[in-house]
Amino acid sequence: MTARVEVVPGRHLVASVDGVVVVVAHRDSTTLTAESEAVAVLDKVLEMVAEAASRETRRTGRAFARLASTWLMGREDEERVEFGMLTPGTRGLAVFLHGRVTAVLEGEGYREVLHGRDAGFSVDRVVSPAPGRAAAVFVDDGEPRDSLPRAGVWSLRDGRVPGSGAVMWMGDKPDTPAREVRAGPGGRSSRAETGRPPPRRNPPPMGQDRANFDSGSRRTSAPDASPTGIIVHGFKCARGHLNDPRVSFCVACGIRMEQLTCVLTAGVRPPLGVLLLDDGSSYVLDSDLVIGREPERSRQVGRDAQAIRIPDASGGMSRVHAEIRLLEWDVLVLDRGSANGTHIRPPGRPDWVRAAPGHPTVLEPGSQLLLGGRVFTFDSPHGR
Ligand SMILES: [Zn+2]
């Protein structure tokens, strides 16, 4: 089963590792950082995923459920740990929910909603066969969700990002040539059958604090393990996370980068951050992007760049306005000869500087971009 994973923006933590999708609740009032408890919980969950994989010849989700239950029962603060997980396995889809998290499973003429908080301890189910259309898992914020968001928000290959939930779209890829920006998760839902008002719009997923991005705790370091990932060279932390060689602390787990590991290692590049749009939408920087009113016109799209179609009421956005390019560990912006230009404001600076058309400029984390009447902020944990 090949599923395409999409993340619903939000303040909690979402990870996709080797086909397994995990959401962890971040209930602190502060923004998610490497020190947040949710990150420690996610680390532990992924450790158990790896451990379960080493115990099962075929993945069923059972070994994970046993490990997770034992771990939770051994914790005094077990009710503070809230997470949900979807594991596609050989016998169907395993669903594990603990605390205020919800899973939505949908197939042809069928929908099932499972709530972690309804269970005495945890929800531990294998849904067989796996839902034909999609399976999603969300952290409950107020009223739990009972429907899927629309496809095409943004996808997550392997890694961890801030979010309130994740959807695994099964089967055929929905036909979404351009990722159209929408007003947050489920804003103006196209699915009317529930009769519910659309869910509340989430705040932008990240504040000033650095959130965590990670290429996932891959068990092997074989650089060609992922045919789609871009291979870069970096330093590995003691726990095996690949990092920009210029950082002092691992952006995935926060530990200091030991300089004795000063050997460049090849590996799949983790996402280099996110681009946050002024309406709270966000795009994970895991590939080049072409931004504009009709970005599909660009020849880069379909080769290795994603089209980001942005409506702009000001009329100042060109059809193909600008490109975001990922080069090794850097994020660059390139004006594509737009009529009104691409303006950059480095962090802490009062004024906008117009980028020379056709000349890529490296963006510092915290930089803002003005394209027509829309403002983007580049946020990344990979800053120096
Ligand atoms: Zn690390």
216 Cα to the center of ligand 1, angstroms: 10
249 Cα to the center of ligand 1, angstroms: 8
35 Cα to the center of ligand 1, angstroms: 12
Q: 236 near 198, Cβ under 8 Å?
A: no
234 Cα to the center of ligand 1, angstroms: 12
On whether residue 163 sits in a domain, the answer given is yes
On whether residue 217 sits in a domain, the answer given is no
Q: Quote the pLDDT of residue 75.
A: 85
On whether residue 216 sits in a domain, the answer given is no
351 Cα to the center of ligand 1, angstroms: 36
220 has pLDDT over 50: no
211 has pLDDT over 80: no
Same domain, 105 and 238: no
On whether residue 212 sits in a domain, the answer given is no
342 Cα to the center of ligand 1, angstroms: 35
111 has pLDDT over 80: yes
Same domain, 259 and 295: no
What rounded mean pLDDT belongs to the chain?
79
Q: Quote the pLDDT of residue 308.
A: 93
243 has pLDDT over 90: no
221 Cα to the center of ligand 1, angstroms: 14
Rounded to 5 degrees, φ, ψ at 212 are -110, 135
Domains of the chain: total: 3
Same domain, 125 and 80: yes
Q: Quote the pLDDT of residue 225.
A: 33
256 Cα to the center of ligand 1, angstroms: 8
200 Cα to the center of ligand 1, angstroms: 34
Q: 22 near 158, Cβ under 8 Å?
A: no
Top pLDDT among 223 and 256 is at: 256
227 Cα to the center of ligand 1, angstroms: 23
Q: Quote the pLDDT of residue 62.
A: 84
Same domain, 9 and 127: yes
On whether residue 337 sits in a domain, the answer given is yes
Strand-strand pairing, 231-236 and 123-127: unpaired
Model confidence at 218, pLDDT cuts 50, 70, 90, reads: very low
Same domain, 62 and 151: yes
Q: State the residue range of the domain holding 263.
A: 223-268
Over the stretch 24-48, which tens digit does the pLDDT of each residue have? 999 988 888 888 899 999 999 999 9
148 Cα to the center of ligand 1, angstroms: 33
**% residues pLDDT > 70 (the chain):** 82
User: Looking at this protein, which amino acid is placed at residue 189?
Assistant: S
On whether residue 108 sits in a domain, the answer given is yes
Same domain, 318 and 366: yes
255 Cα to the center of ligand 1, angstroms: 6
CATH number, domain containing residue 292: 2.60.200.20
Tell me the whole-structure pTM to 2 decimals. 0.48
On whether residue 298 sits in a domain, the answer given is yes
CATH number, domain containing residue 120: 3.60.40
Model confidence at 240, pLDDT cuts 50, 70, 90, reads: confident
Q: Quote the pLDDT of residue 226.
A: 35
260 Cα to the center of ligand 1, angstroms: 15
26 Cα to the center of ligand 1, angstroms: 20
233 Cα to the center of ligand 1, angstroms: 15
Q: Name the domain boundary from 161, 176, 191.
A: 176
163 has pLDDT over 60: yes
Model confidence at 129, pLDDT cuts 50, 70, 90, reads: confident
373 Cα to the center of ligand 1, angstroms: 39
Same domain, 22 and 155: yes
Place of tokens 């975001």: 324
Q: Quote the pLDDT of residue 167.
A: 93
Please give the average per-residue pLDDT across 272-301, as a whole number: 89
65 Cα to the center of ligand 1, angstroms: 25
Same domain, 153 and 171: yes
80 Cα to the center of ligand 1, angstroms: 24
Over the stretch 3-20, which tens digit does the pLDDT of each residue have? 788 888 788 999 988 889
Over the stretch 133-160, which tens digit does the pLDDT of each residue have? 899 999 999 888 888 887 655 677 778 8
36 Cα to the center of ligand 1, angstroms: 14
Same domain, 142 and 237: no
Same domain, 10 and 125: yes
123 Cα to the center of ligand 1, angstroms: 30
On whether residue 193 sits in a domain, the answer given is no
Same domain, 111 and 239: no
Top pLDDT among 168 and 57 is at: 168
Which of 211, 269, 212, 265 is CA-nearest to residue 238? 265
Same domain, 251 and 322: no
Q: What is the 3-state secondary structure (H, E, C) of the chain?
A: CCCEEEEECCCCEEEEECCEEEEECCCCCCCCCCCCHHHHHHHHHHHHHHHHHHHCCCCCCHHHHHHHHHHHHCCCCHHHCCEEEEEEECCEEEEEEECCEEEEEEECCEEEEEEHHHCCCCEEEEECCCCCCEEEEEECCCCCCCCCCCCCCCECCCEEEECCEEEEECCCCCCCCEEECCCCCCCCCCCCCCCCCCCCCCCCCCCCCCCCCCCCCCCCCCHHHCCCCCEEEEEECCCCCEECCCCCECCCCCCECCHHHCCCEEEECCCCCEEEECCCCEEECCCEEEEECCHHHCCCECCCEEEEECCCCCCCCCCCCEEEEEECCEEEEEECCCCCCEEEECCCCCCCEECCCCCCEECCCCCEEEECCEEEEEECCCCC
86 has pLDDT over 80: yes
Q: Name the domain boundary from 268, 301, 325.
A: 268
197 has pLDDT over 70: no
244 Cα to the center of ligand 1, angstroms: 11
Q: Quote the pLDDT of residue 382.
A: 65
2 has pLDDT over 70: no
250 Cα to the center of ligand 1, angstroms: 5
